[in-house]
Amino acid sequence: MRIVIAPDKFKGCLTAAEVAEALARGVTSVLPDAEMDRVPMADGGEGTVAALVAATGGRVREAAVTGPMGEPITAEFGLLGDGRTAVLEMAAASGLVLVPKERRDPLRASTRGTGELLRASIRAGVGRVILGIGGSATNDAGAGLGQALGFRLLDADGNELGPGGGELGRLSRIERPEEPPIPDGVEVLVACDVTNPLCGPDGASAVYGPQKGASPEAVRELDRNLARFAEIVARDLKVEIAGVPGSGAAGGLGGGLLAFAGARLARGVDLITEAVRLRDRLDGADLCLTGEGSMDGQTAFGKTAVGVSRLARSLGIPTFAFAGDLGEGVEAVLEEGITAYFSICPGPIALEDAVRRGAELLERAGAQAIRAFLAGRSRR
């Protein structure tokens, strides 16, 4: 029997690779001779680099970059096993987790470090970059990224703007670098699962600014500044970003990547399944196992487990999904390709105990699911 094990991480508990290993141990306890392909998965958010490096036999590189508040930091990126794809998480360079709560200030936070990380990955000789843009501390529409790539963002006196979305109110013009920042033949793909526009009541500043420390007054200022930025991008770079779904992702970084890197925005799980060649690896399998830390009605809208199960269903392969927590509306995932879902918890259990015993509980749940699968096959 051939089984593909393609889970996401269990956040705060186990990485995707650790989840896959635990499920594999459960399978082996019941089917010692099973052929298993472990494919750690992600959706472009936290853990994407680790998952894709593990799934493809790649390696991790480090780069010195500028943190969101201007401090020097070291950020990691991945080079995948195909030798031509890099994977980045903007949170590693410009993430909210890098800024203590008392220092959060989207008027000053910059995406320069993400641009520097992008440049480092391109210097590694890749032909494709997958960039996950969740978890940002910034609201500068990718202005800092553009500056790191060599664009000049100037005020009316010809002075370069400082860092942060607060500076964009002074933006007068944008000048391109002499050399294209993204070489011909290099594709930049952005894992973006939100559809917010750049500005307005559903835009980057109004929806996400407060969680990054923006006051109501700052939200209004940032929204005006991003609107100005979009106008000048359209005029000087001939790229329309204001109304593009997803341009408001990560404090407008989605729009900035369109403007400065010629990027393409796509659903994270779709980019990841393509990068790890999941369709090819599923072909001919008898069963697929997936899962993530929590599953509920929102999972059905395209989170990792459903992205995996939809692909498996298209190939006629049943999929079992595992979760630490099953929330309201989880039944909806059954309409999206998941054959059955299982909680790994054997009964009421304290959260800290479930986290501590996560690998053990996954192994037990995996073994029980395989027993049920075998029982169903034996009755055909």
Domain 48-268, second-level architecture:
Alpha-Beta Complex (3.90)
Average pLDDT over residues 87-95: 96
Q: What is the CATH number of domain 2-41+279-378?
A: 3.40.50.10350
Q: Residue 380 pLDDT more than 80?
A: no
pTM, two decimal places: 0.90
Q: Per-residue pLDDT tens for 229-257?
A: 999 999 999 999 999 999 999 999 999 99
Distance (Å, rounded) from C-alpha 240 to C-alpha 250? 18
Q: In the chain, which segments carry CATH 3.90.1510.10? A: 48-268
Average pLDDT over residues 304-333: 95
Q: Residue 378 pLDDT more than 70?
A: no
Q: In the chain, which segments carry CATH 3.40.50.10350? A: 2-41+279-378
pLDDT given for residue 353 in this prediction? 84
Q: Per-residue pLDDT tens for 24-49?
A: 999 999 999 999 999 999 988 888 99
Q: Per-residue pLDDT tens for 148-160?
A: 999 999 999 999 9
Nearest C-alpha neighbor of 42 from the set 95, 78, 6, 79: 6
pLDDT given for residue 114 in this prediction? 98
Confidence grade of residue 348 (pLDDT, cut at 50, 70, 90): confident
Q: Per-residue pLDDT tens for 124-148?
A: 999 999 999 989 999 999 999 999 9
Confidence grade of residue 379 (pLDDT, cut at 50, 70, 90): low
